[in-house]
Amino acid sequence: MRSMKKLSELLHGIGVPWTLHGDASVQRIQVDSRRVQPGELFVALPGTRHDGHQFLREALAQGAAALLVSRIEAVPPETPAWAWVEDTREALWRVAQRFYDDPSRQLLVVGVTGTNGKTTTTHLLRAIFEAAGLPCALFGTLGAQLPRLSEGHTHECAPTDLIPTGLTTPEVFELQALLHEAVARGAHAAVMEVSSHALDQRRADGIRFDAALFTNLTQDHLDYHPSMEAYANAKLRLFTELARQSGKPFRAVINLDAEWGAWFAERAEGDLWTYGVHSDARVRAEGVQLGRNGIRFTVVHSEGVGRFPVQLRLSAPYNLQNALGAVAAALSLGLPVEAVQEGLQRVERVPGRFERVSIDAPFEVIIDYAHTPDALARLLHAARALQPSRLTVLFGCGGDRDPTKRPLMGAIAAELADRVILTSDNPRTEAPERILQQILDGIPPESRHKVVAVEPDRRAAIALALQEAVAGEIILLAGKGHEEYQIIGSTKIPFSDRQTVLELFGSAYSGRSTGEMRV
């Protein structure tokens, strides 16, 4: 257990005005009153639905040792110790940074932001760090992966412990705690996905980034951001405000091939490192060879290391951009070419990203997280490049999320696939039938014949796809990727596309000779 710290110690010199009433030793930080444990500091944050100041008594009843507030009138008179600040969100990252001894100061830290490609890019970059002999923590959509330095393992090839986080970018105090633990386990570097929500909500503030990487910006999260410009500006914080916060030499790594790449390059602060295939970038790819089992290309660095070949074991063509981004970030930090080459070759798969399901069949099933119009189009183009006899895509759209992308994704699926099966993604509190109708609305009448089924039950839809598969076909299961749950209403129900295929495959495929489906 960490040693306790006085609230007065945490507040001293944090750079924002504060007043302290009483004092207490605290052993952790918490922002959810339901999760408060004895001895913790409860920070009352204003939210979009609830205000933490409404739950101060609940936090005290749970055993909170002290409160951090911005509304003095909300403090219960029996509170033993509390502090006032003007902005609790601003104070939170400063207090958390101090409580956990500013762990990112001791690490090489790279943040990766963009609509698509974050997860694969961070996995590739982590592999490069480890090939360079630098144990690396990884934070993102799949959770937090920390080095596990156990007997019999050198830190050059350390296994990892996976810790579920629930968010692409955890809450700031959780992120500081995880970075602190990573340092304790011997990490020398950390790579993290940084979402637009996290940047807007200042969940990544206080992290001392050495570099930040922009992959692309396409339509998503417009249920949260009022416009694409607002979405872009949220991500830009990583390259401006957080770059200045870092206190380290900062590198901005920007994909010039992306539609918004030049916009970010013009505004980013620090040492600018651009990359691209179709642009005059600082780091480029030439001689690209796309194959079923990987990608080969030559990295051209306009200064320094010059040219060198690399080989990638991930096959989808869009992974060229992901790999090139990881290469550019690695070069910007001075990592050796040999580590870049070895690291890229180490990554055989990224869970839920163009992931083939291992089944003994004359057709292929590929799972992918694609849940935006651009990602779905890239996925379909990647599958088409494999020259299947028939291309089927099965997907839906998330409920309580940007509804404007639903008809766009319907149109893309009908244009680029031979067959379309519409089903539920995570419908949440929306009626699945309503979501599916909005997807259908985007499909032109002349393409409606491609929609072979509208089945809200995702398991039944997958069973149908397997039952009707033909030799040489590729079946794409899009939208959920690595997820092992489905959100229906407000409940998370265990569900995995991959596991469902494995469970259904034997019965669905063996029943084809009689036309029967056994599920």
What pLDDT score does 444 carry? 97
* Residue 228: band (very low, low, confident or very high) from pLDDT cuts 50, 70, 90: confident
pLDDT of residue 341 exceeding 60: yes
pLDDT of residue 31 exceeding 60: yes
| Domains within the chain, CATH numbers bracketed | 5-98 (3.40.1390.10), 101-346 (3.40.1190.10), 355-513 (3.90.190.20)
Contacts of 322 (CB under 8 A, 6+ apart): 117, 120, 121, 124, 215, 314
pLDDT of residue 412 exceeding 70: yes
pLDDT of residue 180 exceeding 50: yes
* Residue 159: band (very low, low, confident or very high) from pLDDT cuts 50, 70, 90: low
- Reported as a single tens digit per residue, the pLDDT across 347-378 is 999 999 999 999 999 999 999 999 999 999 99
Got the DSSP string for 166-183? SSSS--HHHHHHHHHHHH
What pLDDT score does 464 carry? 97
Rounded to an integer, the average pLDDT of 185-202 is 93
* Other CB atoms within 10 Å distance of the CB of residue 496: 18
* Residue 167: band (very low, low, confident or very high) from pLDDT cuts 50, 70, 90: low
- Reported as a single tens digit per residue, the pLDDT across 252-302 is 999 999 999 999 999 999 999 999 998 789 999 999 999 888 999 999 998
Instruction: Report yes or no: 366 and 180 within 8 Å, Cβ to Cβ.
Output: no
Where would I find the beta strands (DSSP E) of 245-389? 251-255, 271-276, 283-291, 294-301, 307-312, 355-356, 364-368
* Residue 519: band (very low, low, confident or very high) from pLDDT cuts 50, 70, 90: very low
Between 156 and 48, name the one with better pLDDT. Answer: 48
What pLDDT score does 152 carry? 40
What are the Cα distances from residue 509, in Å, to 187, 471, 479? 46, 12, 23
- Reported as a single tens digit per residue, the pLDDT across 437-472 is 999 999 999 999 999 999 999 999 999 999 999 999
pLDDT of residue 120 exceeding 50: yes
What pLDDT score does 132 carry? 98
pLDDT of residue 100 exceeding 80: yes
Cα separation, 120 vs 12, in Å, equals 40
Cα–Cα–Cα angle for 48, 49, 51, rounded to 5 degrees: 85
Cα separation, 31 vs 94, in Å, equals 14
**Range with the poorest average pLDDT among 44-48, 180-184, 284-288, 514-518:** 514-518
Instruction: Report yes or no: 222 and 402 within 8 Å, Cβ to Cβ.
Output: yes
pLDDT of residue 168 exceeding 70: no
